[in-house]
Amino acid sequence: MKTPAAAVIGVLAALAALPLALKSDFLSHFVIMALYFALLGQAWNLLGGYGGQRSFGHAAFFGTGAYAAAIFQLDLGINPWICLVLAGVAGALAGALVGALSFRYGLRGSYFALVTLAFAEVFRIVADSVPFTGAGVGLQIPLKQSAANFQFADKLGFYWVILALTALATAAAWWLENSCFGADLVAIRENEDAARALGIAVERTKLGAITLSAALSGLAGSFYLQYFLYLDPRLAYGVEISVAALLVPLIGGVGTVFGPLVGAFALRLLNEVSGTLTGGAPGLNLVLYGALLILILAFLPDGLVSLFPRLARALRPRRPRHA
């Protein structure tokens, strides 16, 4: 089912109007984090949702982007905005590397999931051991607030950046639904052997998808760095990122344009509620992630967006029978 372009533009326009309602730092932070999760989830969704290649290690691309942004600005003094682009490139390269290796050797399903996880772990151990990542101590970006330095005094600045990045990712999902490349990708998800028999360049299509997905993950990594100004191997390459990336679209709706947006807002909302209830005890929000993952697979395998048509039908006034 194709998503109309008007719907995509409408939703993004509504999000662009949101700052009018963001009167408190708390609300701004909430929406920024939701959009950041949506970006992370949409990146995963492009490969895992439309392409059916479910990665367990998207942190490999996220973390590589984040470290690239940090190292380029700390060691080489490159402007953080250029670092944002470089982070996307670094993420894409990591994705292309993982993709080239695993797709070339025909890894599918569980094997693909496991190999991506292994790559993320290797990257984490390397980042924990080599000097230029600051090893276990991590890297701190010195506070120097100015828009030219990609550090905003006002949260609203971050809001516009993350909105633009998420819009880019959403547009990419819309493009997949409306392009030959996307059609090839979906065909591969449905039946890889049949797609190959039809003459689709399976490896090249999958490689394109993972590179795109990883580039967006790298951008998310750079945003994370500028927003929190700190990075260590666990934050960059930890399981938490990989799980969030797949959980967001699963909750919202895998392989849909709006699934990651819906899933991200739902997940952040739940996070806030559970954080208030449990007093933010460490680890408990991950317990919630795990439970959500199982519950959504058990009871709502098509995600929250699958509720919308049902809801619309229920709300529509019934036409009288003898009109």
Partner 1 sequence: MLALDILLPALLNGIATGAVYALVALGLTLIYGVLHIVNFAHGSLLMLALYGVYFLYTLAGIDPYLALPIIVPAMFALGYALQRTIIATASHGREENVLLVTLGLSIIIDNLALYFWSGDTRTINPSYAFETVDLGVAFIAVPKAVSFAGALLITALLWLLMERADLGKAIRALAFERRGAELVGIDVQHTFAMSFGLGIACVGAAAALLLPSYYAHPGVGESFVVIAFTIVVLGGMGSFLGALLGGLIIGVTESLGGLFLGENLGRIGIFAIFIAILLFRPTGLFGQRA
Give the interface with partner 1 as residue ranges (CB under 8 A): 54, 56, 101-102, 104-107, 109-111, 113-115, 117-119, 121-122, 125-126, 128-129, 239, 243, 246, 250, 281-284, 286-287, 289-295, 297-298, 301
Question: Helix crossing, 5-17 with 155-178: angle to 10°?
Answer: 180
Kindly state the smallest distance separating residue 170's Cβ from partner 1, in Å. Answer: 24
Kindly state the smallest distance separating residue 121's Cβ from partner 1, in Å. Answer: 6
Residue whose CB is less far from partner 1, 13 or 291: 291
Residue whose CB is less far from partner 1, 65 or 233: 233
Kindly state the smallest distance separating residue 109's Cβ from partner 1, in Å. Answer: 6
Residue whose CB is less far from partner 1, 15 or 93: 93
Q: Is 285 exposed, middle or buried (0-12, 13-18, 19+ CB in 10 A)?
A: middle
Residue whose CB is less far from partner 1, 214 or 250: 250
Kindly state the smallest distance separating residue 87's Cβ from partner 1, in Å. Answer: 24
b/e map of 7-20 (b: 16 or more CB within 10 Å)?
ebeebbeebeeebe
Kindly state the smallest distance separating residue 45's Cβ from partner 1, in Å. Answer: 14
Kindly state the smallest distance separating residue 125's Cβ from partner 1, in Å. Answer: 5
Residue whose CB is less far from partner 1, 88 or 259: 259
Residue whose CB is less far from partner 1, 219 or 244: 244
Kindly state the smallest distance separating residue 294's Cβ from partner 1, in Å. Answer: 4
| Nearest to 57, CA basis, from 107, 5, 2 | 107
Residue whose CB is less far from partner 1, 32 or 245: 245
Longest dimension (CA), the chain: 78
- Residue matched to tokens 């390269």: 93
Kindly state the smallest distance separating residue 95's Cβ from partner 1, in Å. Answer: 15
Residue whose CB is less far from partner 1, 110 or 179: 110
